[in-house]
Copies of this chain bind each other. A is one copy, B any other.
């Protein structure tokens, strides 16, 4: 069976068909997808996924945070190999971010079904709730709750940008399941994902063997000033919340450029009130996203940000509140699994680069509880969280075959997981 499964390949066209079909749900005019977590679009996508899982003979379970897990029985009742990612998107998302990791799992299951292969370990495919964090903070919510990194009750109470709450929306779309979080203890976790960055394309690699994930720090700053008339208030007498927000936005940029790679900093959201041409803003709310592969460097950036923001607030005579929306330390994946991914890519004749992930992924939530690794495929122009996100079919097929090969080794009897 080893030789046979060693030559086994997934059906790239079939995988592309499922990606296209899921991409029609929440499709944006002119391309791209908006399928924010727990919206009606997400519900339709979930229903489609569950029906595909049932068609493939998987036993489907939904846990209390809405994670969907479809399991293919093995010849033993050993702990399963879990494959998964998410199907929620940002407001201006693409077809592949998240969906690829879930649908590649289904493709692997269908490939095994067609080949009549029964693995020693069960193989489970999961779609985790709200990985993006675009509607509800924090991101990676479903996988974080599943593995115990995030407190379930807080997550269910989390309030969205539209004022809704996770628990209420789970009930509304019918995806608050019975399976307790943590009920599934995988023997290993594997996630295939697009790089979402420019490195593989720029350097000409087909596969990224992901060694770990950058630490992520999200902070929301709320600045309170005094609204006043734009024409009659001398500059020296102003307490302009918008000016402080602008200072913090440029401070974040400076922190990243001065620290140098891999430090990145992004102000993705800025809002001022009353937001009128001729009124000095009395309130500003902005978010800062800091990421670094080294925890000490990330903490250094956080300190600079908070100290600099406080100084800007005091200089303008405003008040400020800072709130952490998300905080994840850098993660290192299992060296044996990273090696396996790299070897399998090479064995398939694919160029492979060992690299960190610049984005957060569900995989990082599993790293503390089981051997975990990720497989990256290139993103054209490095674009993602963007309607022009694109990865070529042959690149997707290559990544799915690396995943298949790795899964078969891990799911077999006497794999490195048993040593």
Contact = CB atoms under 8 A, between A and B. Distances in A.
Interface of A: 90-92, 132-134, 137, 139, 195-198, 214, 216, 218, 226-235, 237, 240, 242-243, 245-247, 249-250, 253, 256-257, 261, 263-272, 274-282, 287, 289, 291, 325, 357-360, 379, 382-386
Contacts of A386: 226-229, 279, 282
A221 to B, nearest CB: 12
Nearest to A326: B277
Nearest to A202: B237
Nearest to A359: B231
A214 B229 CA distance: 13
B385 A279 contact: yes
A264 B231 contact: yes
Contact of A230 (B242, B289, B383): B289
29 contacts: A90-B276, A90-B279, A91-B276, A91-B279, A133-B277, A134-B277, A137-B277, A196-B232, A197-B229, A197-B233, A198-B232, A198-B237, A214-B231, A228-B385, A229-B386, A231-B358, A232-B379, A233-B358, A235-B265, A246-B249, A246-B267, A247-B250, A250-B250, A268-B272, A268-B280, A268-B281, A277-B287, A277-B289, A278-B289
Nearest to A235: B256
A269 B275 contact: yes
A264 B379 CA distance: 46
Contacts of A218: 277-278
B256 A249 contact: no
B277 A325 contact: yes
A237 B226 CA distance: 37
A316 to B, nearest CB: 10
Given A230-B289, A382-B237, A275 B270 contact: yes
Nearest to A287: B277
A155 B55 CA distance: 61
B277 A269 contact: yes
Contacts of A266: 230, 240, 278-280
A246 B250 contact: yes
B242 A291 contact: no
A229 B196 contact: yes
Given A197-B233, A229-B197, A249-B243, A275 B279 contact: no
Q: When A and B form their complex, which 3 residue pairs have the shortest distance between CB atoms, in order from nearest?
A: A197-B232, A232-B358, A230-B266
A307 B276 CA distance: 24
A280 B271 CA distance: 15
A250 B243 contact: yes
B233 A291 contact: no
Given A228-B384, A229-B384, A385-B279, A267 B243 contact: yes
A284 to B, nearest CB: 8
A272 B275 contact: no
A89 to B, nearest CB: 11
Contacts of A232: 195-198, 357-359, 379, 382, 384
Contacts of A91: 274, 276, 279
B275 A230 contact: no
